[in-house]
Amino acid sequence: MVTLLLDQTQLEIVLSPLERAASFHRDNLRIVRETITKVQLTDDAWTWLRGVPNPGTHIPGILAAGTWKAAGSTDFVLIRKRRPSVVIDLTGDEQYRRLILTTRHGLALTQALRLEVSEEPADVEEIVSTGSIPTTKQPRRPVIRPRPA
């Protein structure tokens, strides 16, 4: 499973040596935080897969890793079996339009993206456990009661 690090400017996806080999990536992925437009949690990441690996590894139902190219889009994929995953849509990123990652930290990522974070990268689980999630207070609506007859 990938490790997700977040700071004020970027999301870093830390890949293990095995994940680097399977995905044909030498370095971790660094995504500018401003390019993240939507984060969705899913139980079946395979339904989000589009295109063909180029370069990448694909063992149907077991592993999909690497860069996947489809008509007009390029995605980074790291899916293992049928485990909880996160789908991150990007706008304006130079390399990818979507990231599909198997991770149990998807909920923590969505919460951490709403928080003020430090300049130093930190694991999203640590960010969520130490910070509080800001909530917007909804204005109270007046109660309209019928007049007595």
pLDDT value at position 134? 47
In a domain, 138, yes or no: no
7 found inside a domain: yes
pLDDT in tens, 82-133: 888 999 999 988 899 999 999 888 888 888 888 777 777 777 778 777 765 4
Task: Provide the number of structural domains found in the chain.
Answer: 1
Q: Is 142 domain-assigned? A: no
pTM beyond cutoff 0.85 = no
What pLDDT, on the 0 to 100 scale, is given for residue 91?
A: 92
In tens, the pLDDT along 123-146 reads 777 877 776 544 445 566 666 677
Q: What is the pLDDT of residue 138?
A: 53
Rounded Cα–Cα distance for residues 13 and 52 (Å) = 22
Beta strands in 15-102 (DSSP E): 29-32, 36-42, 52-59, 63-70, 73-80, 85-90, 98-102
Phi, psi of 108 (to 5 degrees): -65, -35
Residue 11 in domain: yes
73 within some domain: yes
Domain presence at residue 15: yes
Residue 148 lies in a domain: no
The parent domain of residue 78 ranges over 3-130
Residue 139: inside a domain: no
